[in-house]
Amino acid sequence: MEQVFFLHQNLNDFDSFCENARNWDLHYQQLDSGTFSSELLIFGNNETQLTHASLNRKMLQQGASPKGLITFGILANPQISIHWRNIDISGDMLFVFPEDGELNSISQSDFDIYLLSLTEEKLNASCDLLDLPNIRTLINKNEVFKCQTEKLDEFRHWLHTVKIELTSLNASVRNKHYLNQVEQEMIYRILSILTENRIVTKSRSRKRDIAISIAENYISNSSNEIVTISELCNVANISERTLEYGFRERYGITPKRYSLVYRLNNVRKQLRKTKPGSALVSEIARQHGFWHMSKFSADYKKLFNELPLCTLNRSQ
């Protein structure tokens, strides 16, 4: 019998969150200032996985969903929204993760989501029983489906109930039998939504969106250097005003701030991977273009609510 795994943790470090998100390949960057905290619940096996995640900081989320599984997402709070793969996802939508593409989303400080991952074989077995086309035909390469509000609210309420049962002091439900029940209910509700076939099309990329993506890539490729606004305008072939507006629209911050935050996140990642005593904070900071240590430390503490030395000393 395949082993069932269960995890429920409150994590105060977003790299630890990514590392504990079983089967997910996640890379996060914190975009706003403050201490990070999260809740992560995972229940399943290698064929079925139910995940609930909530984060309290604005994050740039990159990476990929579990390999070999088809993953569906539902916002746990119908009042929130996320910007996911150039689509604004609201509480009345079911979205499908691409099996070979970046999740690439921007979540706010109220991020709260359920993620349902299943094998194609299990989904198709239920499609056969219900006399439906196979799962790939139902999805038809679409990524977002708009749902009847009542139907999705019922789905969300059921998921909340499952979460409460799994996180109660009674651990007896965390077994294969209960997982089978959860699996069948998830599949039934997902197929019910997909057969409604109300598709949300991805918006066409505007010239400004393409330019902002070019600027982002330039910042990423120049992560060890200070990037000027004029450089970004030149490579993206847009005006400073358009660049500023585009970054504010997508991230809520200026391109200058985005570049700073990007480099600070990279410093933090390196600090977490460095053995205490094997390198100085100042050496790592300079590798990422920070030369004024007092200003660097102040900017770092403002973003992550801790000094860089504290991050280094917590590293493994």
pLDDT tens-digit profile of 63-86? 999 999 999 999 999 999 999 988
Looking at the structure, do residues 159 and 211 belong to the same domain, yes or no? no
Backbone angles phi, psi at 61, to 5 degrees: -105, 125
pLDDT value at 202 more than 70: no
202 falls within a domain: no
**Mean pLDDT in residue range 162-168:** 94
CATH number at residue 286: 1.10.10.60
Residue-range definition of the domain harbouring residue 213: 207-314
* Domain presence at residue 199: no
Of 194, 223, 256, the residue at which a domain comes to its end is 194
Integer-rounded Cα Rg, in Å, for the chain is 21
Same domain for 248 and 168, yes or no, is no
In a domain, 41, yes or no: yes
Domain tally, the chain: 2
Are 164 and 262 within one domain?
no
Burial of 215 (0-12, 13-18, 19+ CB in 10 A): buried
Q: Is the pLDDT of residue 204 over 60?
A: no
Q: Which amino acid is at 174?
A: R
Strand order of the sheet with strand 59-64? 25-30, 59-64, 105-107, 82-84, 87-89
pLDDT tops 80 at residue 205: no
Q: What pLDDT does residue 1 have? A: 46
Q: Do residue 181 and residue 49 come from a single domain?
A: yes
Claim to verify: residue 79 and residue 56 sit in the same structural domain:
yes
CATH number at residue 39: 2.60.120.10
Residue 253 DSSP SS3: coil
Q: Are residues 214 and 163 in the same domain?
A: no
- pLDDT band of 275, cuts 50, 70, 90: confident
Q: Is residue 230 assigned to a domain?
A: yes
d(CA 29, CA 303): 11
Residue 101 pLDDT > 90: no
Question: Could you tell me if 234 and 131 lie in one domain?
Answer: no
Q: Residue 201: inside a domain, yes or no? A: no
For residues 94 and 188, state if they share a domain.
Answer: yes
Domain-embedded: residue 12: yes
How many percent of the chain have pLDDT more than 90?
Answer: 80
Confidence tier at 179 by pLDDT (50, 70, 90): very high
Same structural domain, 62 and 124: yes
224 and 96 together in one domain: no
Residue 127 lies in a domain: yes
Residue 76 is assigned to a structural domain of this protein: yes
One domain for residues 155 and 218: no
Asked if the model's pLDDT at residue 164 lies above 90, the reply is yes
Q: pLDDT tier at 96 (50, 70, 90 boundaries)?
A: very high
